[in-house]
Chain A
Amino acid sequence: DTGVSQDPRHKITKRGQNVTFRCDPISEHNRLYWYRQTLGQGPEFLTYFQNEAQLEKSRLLSDRFSAERPKGSFSTLEIQRTEQGDSAMYLCASSLEGGTNEKLFFGSGTQLSVL
């Protein structure tokens, strides 16, 4: 169990560019989540996958955001035409469905700065 891995740890980009983040969940976990955290706030839910199916998307996720989990393992989050308001920490988490308390384990996050 190597934990949830996210790549890159930091990303600096210019406004208007596209960025893509990757998340590798804990290997046996079938549930995967993306959250966004801005300075001074708690994480906010963005989207949820069960295996390869994206089952919920938050209203926070505009059309410029797309997430995939093609084989039910790793996931990518892409932001097109980035805006300064997209600057935040993007956190990935995973869990195993059906556990007695279903603990979510978080990765270290990708810190995005849009200049």
Chain B
Amino acid sequence: GEDVEQSLFLSVREGDSSVINCTYTDSSSTYLYWYKQEPGAGLQLLTYIFSNMDMKQDQRLTVLLNKKDKHLSLRIADTQTGDSAIYFCAERIGDYKLSFGAGTTVTVRA
């Protein structure tokens, strides 16, 4: 995913909020996604946002989209140890293809 960039690591204390940032390049992307991957597992879809929205909230997750700057963020409120994982940002290219970032490894410390 050279077109999608993310910071590689994030360390957060349990109970604090986590914010993962992502930039993408295709201004015509219709949907942007956040996936979670735990060790040795596949990707779990966490949430998504349509390109005409600025914000989407889903329980502890808040997605912010700045279309002008092509910047996407995922905020996890009240981060728990079970939130430790790799988080991937992805943009939809055309009708069906996803382009992924390299992933942000989130470590939750007690």
Do residues A101 and B42 form an inter-chain contact, with CB atoms below 8 A? no
Do residues B41 and A108 form an inter-chain contact, with CB atoms below 8 A? yes
Do residues A42 and B90 form an inter-chain contact, with CB atoms below 8 A? yes
Interface size class of B (residues with CB under 8 A): 20 to 34
Using known A-B contacts A103-B45, A106-B42, determine if residue A31 contacts B88 with beta carbons closer than 8 Å. no
Residues of A within 8 A of B98 (CB): 43, 45, 104
Do residues A42 and B101 form an inter-chain contact, with CB atoms below 8 A? yes
Which of B1, B42, B50, B103 touches A44 (beta carbons < 8 Å)? Answer: B1
Taking each of B35, B90, B92, B98, which has the highest tally of chain A beta carbons within 10 Å of its own beta carbon?
B98
Indicate if A25 sits at the interface (CB-CB under 8 A): no
Do residues A43 and B43 form an inter-chain contact, with CB atoms below 8 A? yes
Residues of A within 8 A of B108 (CB): none
Closest B residue to A41 by beta carbon equals B102
Which of A4, A31, A101 touches B50 (beta carbons < 8 Å)? Answer: A101
Closest A residue to B1 by beta carbon equals A42
Cα A93 to Cα B1 in complex, Å, equals: 17
Using known A-B contacts A43-B43, A104-B45, A106-B42, determine if residue A31 contacts B100 with beta carbons closer than 8 Å. no
A sample of 10 inter-chain contacts (CB < 8 A) reads A4-B42, A31-B96, A41-B102, A43-B98, A101-B48, A102-B31, A106-B35, A108-B41, A108-B42, A111-B40
Q: Which residues of A contact B (CB under 8 A)?
A: 4, 6, 31, 33, 40-45, 48, 56, 91, 93, 95, 101-109, 111
